[in-house]
Chains A and B, each alone.
Chain A
Amino acid sequence: MYYLRSEFDLCTGCEACMLVCSNRAAGGYNPRRARMKVLSENENLVNRPLVCTQCENPFCMNSCPFDAISKDETSGVVLVDKEKCTSCGNCVAACPDGMIRLGADKKADKCDFCEGDPLCVKYCVPGALKLVARLEQQEVQE
């Protein structure tokens, strides 16, 4: 299973990740329309990329009264079923990182991992966003 990892020390704050993400998510460029964020702290001494980590225990999924959010067993990606979504906003309130919100169609919208090949990683020239593989508990102990 692969995960998105973000590293503040390498992030330059260029927001190319958000631009390319917004173009896929919203059909045009605007970082505010991206499914991720880059925060700026302390006179811009730090830029902190914030991405959906496809939680093992997703608050967004757990808080959905309509079972519109599910976790794919093989990829681990947390996905929204737009047919089932009623735009109630429970998931939006539940995610402490603001990684899910209502899109232009008023349906819940979040990172779908670009079907396994995230554009944000592809356009992150400084390498602050990485795809990392998970070691199972057993492998760590070995």
Chain B
Amino acid sequence: MGKLLLVDLSKGTSKELPLDPKLAEYYVGGKGFGAKILYDLLPAGCDPLGSENILMFMTGPLTGTLAPANRGCVVTRSPLTGTFADSYFGGHFAQEIRFCGFDGIIIGGAAAEPSYIWIDDGKVEIRTAGNIWGLDTFATVEKIREELGDNSVKTACIGPAGENMVSFALINCEYNRHAGRAGTGAVMGSKNLKAVVLRGNKAVISAEPAAFGEAIDTAYKELAADDTVTSFTGNGTPASIDFANEEQLLPTHNYYNGTFDGAAGLNAVAQRDSFWLRNVACAGCPIACGKVGIIKRGKRKGLVTDVVEYETASMMGSNLGLSDIREVAYLVKKCDALGLDGMSAGGMVGFAIEAFQKGVITQHDTGGQELKFGDSAAVEFLLDIIAGRNGLGDILARGVKLAAAELQGGTEDYAVHIKGLESPAWGPRSVPGMALALATADRGGCHQRAFPILYEVGGQWKGRDVERLTLEGKGEIVAHLQNYLAALDTLVKCDFAAYGIKDYTYCRLLETATGTEWNVDKLLQLGDRIWNQVRLFNLREGFSRADDSLPRRFSSETLPEGPFEGQMVNPSDLGRLLDEYYSVRSWDGDGKPTDQKLEELYLDRIPVLFDKSSLE
């Protein structure tokens, strides 16, 4: 710890870089490190799939300890959106980075032939991946364990989709945990890098062990006392299916509506009945939101599968008109094996089916395959041609934004993405705060940067009830949540644990782990700094207010029926939301941070910490 590992795949070399104290002070870890390093190292306009792009696996100061529920993140420039991209993964991989003695791994260049990186307790080797290239993610993990003769090594790998640089390919962090979003797997594929494999013996030590232990005990108690957290333990994320369906937020038939007749076939009750056997947790997590099992009955009997998370149960389920969780579990596992992000894949397939219904895609394009909602075979067909980039699949592999631009024919009206990232499973037409959160999320359409829905459907903000359909005040909520969560993404926190662990407890964990003083104000300023640092990256890449937008399905088509019939967030509403949000952020009307804001966050005077020579 206290150092980063740099691997140059073009040269086949690696070196250790001591952690710059300024990086630790101003950026802390995880997302913060990624934001600063990406901004410093990448030349403007660099090709996300070119050797100039870098792929980073980052940890935080709590990663690898007993402090509950920490993850890791992959940071790179996204081939799907062109923005800064950070994608978070659970499992045990991030912890092993620290057990190898590093706070993060920065991978640059591109290997001449298929390779994998093997880091054994800090010793780095770049090995040929000739015999694993082409394998799916499950087989890759098996083969690597066999080759190294150790089942305890930790692997992050890509599947065929990543090898073929599908724009929404994921990185699998065995098992059922992924850096899923924004195409990190395609970047890995562009570097001819099949896997990163770790085994580390180093112990992670805190600055104040006794006090750190007390802070951990406090966090454990807070998690046990929180109802939302215990609901994740009991029913996992699919409990949200019922909530979203009742609130008309559940994507259905490519986001046509927000309620689904078959929702009861996808929810926690259905999943438990169909296959759950036990709870599964990521490293050091008492929540255990995972629910692994074996499908009991029917065509997919015997299939081993983890919980179908809310996001994939919606995007590959209701959004595609599928109401049998066993079929959805099969398809999501297929995405995992091929190395496709199940969320984007669900968005992409929904788009393709609608384009087929509207005659833009025809049987001529699909080789005779009919595409319709509610047909699992049609979905499987599309997943295969996308991962293999065969025929029509080559267009669909670029994501809905570019596919719509290629297909034309009015498809842009139902290409549901923000900045190119397929929107997550929370239809925002009746929750304008959520619409703003999606429009302004740094990596494109993302629900994890701020989730104001919980305030909009009956919550309070600063002691006052929040009106669901009101625009006013939403900008402040969204900016605050973004800052707070960006700060916790330096740790790197789990979204669900953050419901239970209090802000001051996170501060206490941080200060006893690192020996530096923290308080909630400082934490919020850290988040604000990182949010602005990322904004500077995106602005440099040409993003502006015009890109803080919503897809037409949300901004010019109303919900067709149901309790929120007639609702949408039209461009004028979004304009008002953005005006308030920019003003709260001290950004100008174009969404650019003011000089005063940069000064307040020290962003005007933190020096360049990484340049080309750091890599050499």
A: residues with CB less than 8 A from B are: 9-16, 19-20, 22-23, 26-30, 32-33, 39-40, 42-45, 47, 123, 125-126
- Stretch among B15-23, B284-292, B323-331, B560-568 lining the A interface: B284-292
Question: Does the CB pair B279–A29 fall under 8 Å?
Answer: no
Known interface pairs A40-B151, A45-B294, A45-B304; A29-B280 also in contact (CB < 8 Å): no
Interface contact A10-B284, CB-CB below 8 Å: no
Among listed B48-56, B159-167, B201-209, B373-381, interface-contacting one: B201-209
Known: A16-B284, A40-B151. A22 touches B176 (CB 8 A): no
A16 touches B203 (CB 8 A): no
Contact among A14, A15, A32 with B200 in the assembled complex (CB-CB below 8 Å): A32
**Smallest beta-carbon distance A124→chain B, Å:** 9
| Interface flag for B457 (CB, 8 Å) | no
Which of A10, A11, A16, A26 is the one whose CB lies under 8 Å from B66? A16
Q: A12-B288, A14-B286, A19-B66 are in contact. Are A27 and B99 (CB under 8 A)?
A: no
Cross-chain contact B66 with A42 (CB below 8 angstroms):
no
- Chain A contact residues, majority secondary structure: loop
Q: Given that A14-B283, A23-B66 are known contacts, is A43 also in contact with B200, CB under 8 Å in the complex? A: no
Contacts of B92 in A (CB 8 A): 15
In the bound assembly, the distance between CA atoms of A66 and B286 in angstroms comes to 42
Identify which of B278, B280, B284 contacts A9 (C-beta below 8 A).
B278
- A44 to B278 Cα, complex, angstroms: 11
Given A30-B99, A33-B201, A44-B176, A12 contacting B64 (CB threshold 8 A): no
Out of B176, B203, B279, B304, name the residue touching A30 (CB < 8 Å). B203
Restricting to B201-225, which residues have a CB under 8 Å from any CB of A?
201-205, 209, 220, 224
Q: List 15 A-B contacts (CB under 8 A).
A: A12-B281, A16-B66, A19-B66, A28-B204, A29-B203, A30-B64, A30-B203, A33-B201, A40-B151, A43-B175, A44-B306, A45-B304, A47-B280, A125-B220, A125-B288
Inter-chain contacts of A43 with B (CB < 8 A) = 138, 175, 304
A27 CB to nearest chain B CB (Å): 7
Instruction: Tell me the complex Cα distance, A60–B394, Å.
Output: 61
Residues of A within 8 A of B176 (CB): 44
A33 to B199, CA, bound (A): 12
For A33, the closest partner residue in chain B by CB is: B203
Question: Using Cβ atoms and an 8 Å threshold, which residues of chain A touch B294?
Answer: 45
- Given contacts A12-B279, A44-B292, A125-B288, 9 further A-B pairs with CB under 8 A are A12-B281, A12-B290, A14-B283, A26-B203, A29-B64, A32-B200, A33-B201, A43-B304, A45-B292
B2 to chain A, nearest CB (A): 14
Closest-by-CB residue of A relative to B68 is: A16
Q: Residues of B contacting A32 with CB < 8 Å?
A: 99, 152, 200-201
The 4 closest A-B pairs by CB, nearest first: A28-B203, A14-B281, A12-B281, A125-B286
A16-B286 in contact given A30-B201, A44-B292 (Cβ < 8 Å): yes
Bound together, the chains give a CA A44 to CA B176 distance in angstroms of 9
Answer yes or no: B282 CB below 8 A from chain A CBs: yes
Partner of B288, one of A14, A22, A28, A39: A14
Contacts of A11 in B (CB 8 A): 278
Interface residues as binary, B267-305 with A (CB distance below 8 Å gives 1, 0 otherwise): 000000000011111111110101011100000000010
B235 located at the interface, meaning its Cβ lies under 8 Å from any Cβ of chain A in the complex:
no
- Kindly provide the distance from the CB of A74 to the nearest chain B CB, expressed in whole angstroms: 29
CA distance A12 to B291 in the complex (A): 9
Contacts A43-B138, A44-B280; A30 near B202 (Cβ below 8 A): yes
Q: For A13, A20, A26, A45, which residue has the most chain B Cβ atoms within 10 angstroms? A: A13
CB neighbours of A13 from chain B (8 A): 280-281
Q: How far in angstroms is the closest Cβ of chain B from A67?
A: 30
Which B residues, 152 to 183, have Cβ-Cβ distances below 8 Å to chain A? 152, 174-176
Query: Is B65's beta carbon under 8 Å from chain A?
Result: yes
Chain B contacts of A126 at CB under 8 A?
A: 279, 286, 288
Q: Which of B61-77 contact A (CB under 8 A)?
A: 64-66, 68
Given contacts A20-B66, A30-B203, contact A12 B278 (CB under 8 A): yes
Q: Say whether B280 contacts A12, CB under 8 Å.
A: yes
A124 nearest in chain B by CB position: B286
Which B residues, 343 to 398, have Cβ-Cβ distances below 8 Å to chain A?
none
Q: Determine whether the beta carbon of A22 is less than 8 Å from that of B203.
A: yes
State whether A27 and B205 are in contact (beta carbons under 8 Å apart), knowing that A16-B284, A42-B304 are contacts in the complex.
yes
Nearest chain A CB to B331 CB, angstrom units: 17
**Cβ distance A114 to chain B, nearest Cβ, rounded Å:** 14
Q: How far is the CA of A100 from the CA of B285 in the complex (A)?
A: 26
Complex alpha-carbon distance, A43 and B292, angstroms: 10
Q: How far is the CA of A126 from the CA of B234 in the complex (A)?
A: 11
A42 to B201, CA, bound (A): 25
Chain B residue contacts of A28, Cβ below 8 A: 202-205
Specify the chain B residue showing the minimal Cβ separation from A25: B203
Let me know if A44 and B175 touch, CB within 8 A.
yes
Whether B203 lies near A123 (C-beta < 8 A) is: no
Complex CA distance for A123 and B282, rounded to whole angstroms: 15
Q: How far is the CA of A12 from the CA of B92 in the complex (A)?
A: 13
**Smallest beta-carbon distance B91→chain A, Å:** 9
Residue of B nearest to A37 (CB): B152
B281 near A30 with CB under 8 A, answer no
- CA separation between A70 and B280, bound complex, in Å? 37
| Shortest distance between the CB of A32 and any CB in chain B (Å) | 5
A74 to B129, CA, bound (A): 55
> In the complex where A30-B201, A30-B204 touch, is A14 in contact with B292 (Cβ < 8 A)?
no
